[in-house]
Structures are given as structure tokens and as C-alpha cells.
Amino acid sequence: MTSNSPEDKAAATALKVQGNKAFAGHDWPGAVDFYTQAIEKYDADPSFFCNRAQANIKLEAYGYAVADATKAIELDKDYIKAYWRRAIANTAILHSQDALRDFKTVCRKEPNNKDAKLKLSECEKLVKKINFLKAIEVADPPSAFEGLDLDSIEVDQTYDGVRLQKEMTQEFIDDMIERFKNGKKIHKKYVFQIIKAVRDIVHDEPTMVEVEVASETKLTVCGDTHGQYFDLLEIFRLNGYPSEKQGYLFNGDFVDRGSWSTEIALLLYAYKWLRPKYFFLNRGNHETDDMNRVYGFEGECKAKYNEKTFRLFSESFSALPLATLIGKKYLTLHGGLFSDDKITLDDIRKLDRHTQRQPGQAGLMMEMLWTDPQPQPGRGPSKRGVGLQFGPDVTKRFCENNGLEAVIRSHEVRMDGYEVEHDGRCITVFSAPKYCDTTENKGAYINLGPELKLEYHQFEAVPHPDIKPMAYATNSPLMNMM
């Protein structure tokens, strides 16, 4: 119960100062905690809510950020920063019209604010682009692979890399790794070849791939890598490069935000092509068109290769499996569990992901890519503004009904790189350390041997060339918000 006494206000202000210190140290969860304590002591200061909104934006809890900014505006109708933060949060969850309204308010209240004018212009362009794409959208578009004649594409004599023939080779991958480290690209013919080969492989895999860990082998589960190529190479350096003894499962969100997303996607695809039975890819919520348009992958494909590259990747993403069942014990999927307790593994097996290419705003696919755990029992509205949250009782029932030990998921930053929740039944793994160059989190990955015991490994971010996150997110109000 809050009060408005001077003593409580002073105590709350002191907590806000601690929150500001945590925020300055990039400890976003700590900042949220201090701002929440301040609000619990004194809930009449709009800056407490506005500051918590900014910390929630850093945590990608955009739904919470919108709610906090809205509360700040209710307390002070002229609080420019709150309109600004609500606009950024709405942009992040693709509520572009709502964002546009708030950017217009900021420009009206501060007509000389150049940053606001720039963001308004970017948001207007984004809304026009979204509306245009909706207008030309057809129910069943032709395949981007239609008419793709790889044999007709010549690789000129000046190309200085290893040449790819009809099959992927370790030699080509080794050369590609070094080229990407040195800021070079591979020839567009090879890009097209790799994407087509992998699209064909994953298209024929079930919606839920079922794998066993053979004797004398290891399977490593990695979470989001988000275009952080040099940190991906650090995983391989520490844990071993993919081989028939060292399998990998990458649990979605390979691309967007980080500015080496094409490099990561092509490297993961090349390994999938080389060792399809030992290397697995689950789709994440960022392997989708609407996210790629806002968070950089579309722009990066066009900048480094061409628009055709993005369209091929887009179609291949929609062919990716949505889940992997490891040893009949661990369901691994990007987001989390469902709005209905009746959902079973068989429902996932039966899901036709090829008919519905994009996850949309509701349904099984959306929930598999977007939902998050919460500590409270039951289900609740999503802190992101998309999907929902599920409690420990939901996880317990799902695991018991389906004979599982746990659900392994990704989708959220964890400061330690991983977190075990819901009495051990819900495990989050996140593999992008120092996320977006601003969050002081570790990365992590999980190893499983034939006995299916989970071994957690943490790692730190490594240096990378001086290219900022979201470098290719053209016409997005999210540019430079990090």
C-alpha cells in the first residue's frame, strides 16, 4: 500500500537513485527492481514509471514499458520522455500506428526537437512500407526459388575464396569462417546454393524433430545468437566445432539486432547442409518477415548481397522446424508453452507449418515462438505485448501430461546466460553475451550426453569490429535506441 507522505517520497526518491545507478551499470533487472520498490513506496511521481519503462525496454519487456509510460502520462500529460518511450516500445512490438501518434505528440509539444522529427519521419516511412506490403500481399505468393537457375550464375575468376561445387565441404566452411572474420563475403551464387539446399532439407523435416544422443557423442543446445558472429565462433572455440561427435541445436533468433546476421545464418546453414543429421535449427520469432523488416536482417541482406537473398532466406525460415524433442525428455522450442492445457506433443507433430508461413498474432505457432515463463501460477498477459506468460503450474502439467522432464527455451536475455525456473522444469538458455553491446550478460549453452544430463556452460563476449547493433535497420525508429 503506497502513501504520499514526505518520508515515503524521500525514501522512494532514494530508491530511484539506486535504480539509476543500476541502469547506468547496464543492470536492467536491478534497475527495474529498484524502480518498482520506489513505486511501491510512492506512486505519484511519473519519473519512477518512466524510468522503469526505459529499463523494461532494455529487457525487451515492451508491453510493460507501454503500461509504465502510459501511467507516467496519466500523472503528467506534458511528460515528453514518457511519450517518447511509449513510442519506442510500440515500435518494437510492431504497433507502428500507436508509435506514430506518440512521435507526433512529441513533435507538437517540442517543435524544435530534431531527434523527434527524425524518429517521426522514420516511423512514417515504416508505416507506409507496412501498409504497402499489406496492400500487395497475396494469399499464396510464388516461391522465391521459382526460376532460380544456379547453373547460369558465373563465379568470376577474381573470386579469391574456396569454390563450392554441388555439395558442401568442410574446406568451404573453414574458408567462409575466415572470410567473414575479415569482413569479406562469399559469392552470391554460393549464398543462393546454401539457402536452397537447406530449405530443401528442413522442409522435409517434421515440425517437431525428434533426436537421440548416441553413445560417445554430445549435443549442444544454444539460444539466441542475434547476429553476434564473433560470439558464435567463441562457442565453437570453447565447445568444439560441429562434427559427427559434436552435434548442435540452435534454438532460434539467429538473426536481427546484431550486424553479422547474414554471416551467422550462412554459417549455420552451411553446417546444416554438411551434417543434416547432427546439426539442428529451430525457428525463432526473429526468423519472420515483420521482425526482419524492423530489426535489421532485411536491410543487411540487401546491403551485403541483394533483395533476392532476403526473399530466399524468408522462405527458408518459414520451412524451419518449430521444436526439437531430445531423447523424449526435453522439448526444446524458442518461446514457450500454450494458452490451452490440452495441447500435447502430438498437436505439435500435426501442426502444418508449411501452410501458415508467418506466425501471426494468435495460434499454436505464435505461442511456440513468443511466450515467456512467469513466477506466478496460471497464465498472464505478455510483458512483451505479444503472446502470453505461463506459470510453474502450467509447465508442471504440460511436462507430466507429455512425459517430459523439462522444457528448454530461449527468447529472453538472462544475466547469467541461462536460468532454471519452475522447479527445474523450465530452462532458458541465451547465447548472445553482452547483448546488443549494452547488456552486461553472459552467454550460455547446454551440453547433453547419451545419459541426457544437462551441463550448463557460461562464456563472455569477445571483441568484434566496430560496427554497432542495428546498423542495417534502415528507416526504423529503433535505430540508435540502444
Is residue 143 assigned to a domain? Answer: no
What is the reported pLDDT for 118? 83
Average pLDDT in the 220-232 region? 98
CB 386 within 8 A of CB 372: no
What is the reported pLDDT for 128? 82
Whether residues 129 and 156 fall in one domain: no
Average pLDDT in the 109-114 region? 88
Boundary residue ending a domain (72, 102, 136): 136
The position carrying cell 508505416 is 127
Give the pLDDT band of residue 361 (cuts 50, 70, 90). confident
Whether residues 128 and 182 fall in one domain: no
Is residue 359 assigned to a domain? Answer: yes
What is the reported pLDDT for 139? 62
Whether residues 231 and 290 fall in one domain: yes
Whether residues 77 and 205 fall in one domain: no
How far, in Å, CA of 395 to CA of 389, rounded? 11
Give the pLDDT band of residue 225 (cuts 50, 70, 90). very high
CATH number at 46 reads: 1.25.40.10
User: Between 41 and 114, whose confidence is greater?
Assistant: 41
457 is catalytic: no
What is the reported pLDDT for 113? 86
Beta 443-448 vs 388-390: how paired, if at all? unpaired
Is residue 145 assigned to a domain? Answer: no
Is residue 477 assigned to a domain? Answer: no
Whether residues 47 and 100 fall in one domain: yes
The position carrying cell 526504423 is 476
Is residue 254 assigned to a domain? Answer: yes
Whether residues 21 and 91 fall in one domain: yes
Is residue 59 assigned to a domain? Answer: yes
> Taken in order 321, 322, 326, 328, is the CA torsion positive or negative?
negative
Q: How far is CA 134 from the centre of its chain?
A: 23
Q: How far is CA 157 from CA 161, 162, 176, 230, 345, in A?
A: 10, 12, 17, 29, 51
Average pLDDT in the 358-363 region? 82
3-state secondary structure of 361: coil
How far, in Å, CA of 294 to CA of 91, rounded? 9
Beta 330-333 vs 323-326: how paired, if at all? antiparallel
Q: Annotated catalytic residue: which of 95, 286, 411, 422?
A: 286
Please say if the pLDDT value at position 3 is more than 70. Answer: no
Please say if the pLDDT value at position 475 is more than 80. Answer: no
Tens of pLDDT, residues 140-166: 678 999 989 999 999 999 999 999 999
Please say if the pLDDT value at position 136 is more than 80. Answer: no
How far, in Å, CA of 124 to CA of 127, rounded? 5
- Nearest in space to 413 (alpha carbons), one of 430, 396, 427: 430
Q: pTM score, two decimals?
A: 0.92
Whether residues 302 and 427 fall in one domain: yes
Tally of structural domains, the chain:
2
Tens of pLDDT, residues 304-327: 999 999 999 999 999 999 999 999
How far, in Å, CA of 233 to CA of 215, rounded? 26
Which residues have CB under 8 Å from 352's CB, separation 6+?
A: 207
Whether residues 212 and 360 fall in one domain: yes
Please say if the pLDDT value at position 482 is more than 50. Answer: no
CATH number at 376 reads: 3.60.21.10
CB 252 within 8 A of CB 428: no
The three three-digit cell numbers of residue 181, written as one number: 572474420
Please say if the pLDDT value at position 338 is more than 90. Answer: yes
Q: What strands lie across the sheet with 379-381, from one edge to the other?
A: 372-373, 388-390, 379-381
Tens of pLDDT, residues 434-470: 999 999 999 999 999 999 999 999 999 999 999 999 9
Domain housing 25: 6-136
The three three-digit cell numbers of residue 418, written as one number: 541461462
CB 172 within 8 A of CB 164: yes
User: Between 113 and 62, whose confidence is greater?
Assistant: 62
The number of residues in the chain equals: 482
Whether residues 39 and 159 fall in one domain: no
Is residue 366 assigned to a domain? Answer: yes
Which residues have CB under 8 Å from 155's CB, separation 6+?
A: 163, 187, 189, 190
Q: How many CB atoms lie within 10 A of CB 74?
A: 12
The three three-digit cell numbers of residue 319, written as one number: 520451412
- Nearest in space to 446 (alpha carbons), one of 214, 248, 234, 268: 248
What is the reported pLDDT for 130? 73
Question: Can you spell out the DSSP letters for 259-290?
Answer: S-HHHHHHHHHHHHHH-TTTEEEE--TTSSHH
Is residue 259 assigned to a domain? Answer: yes
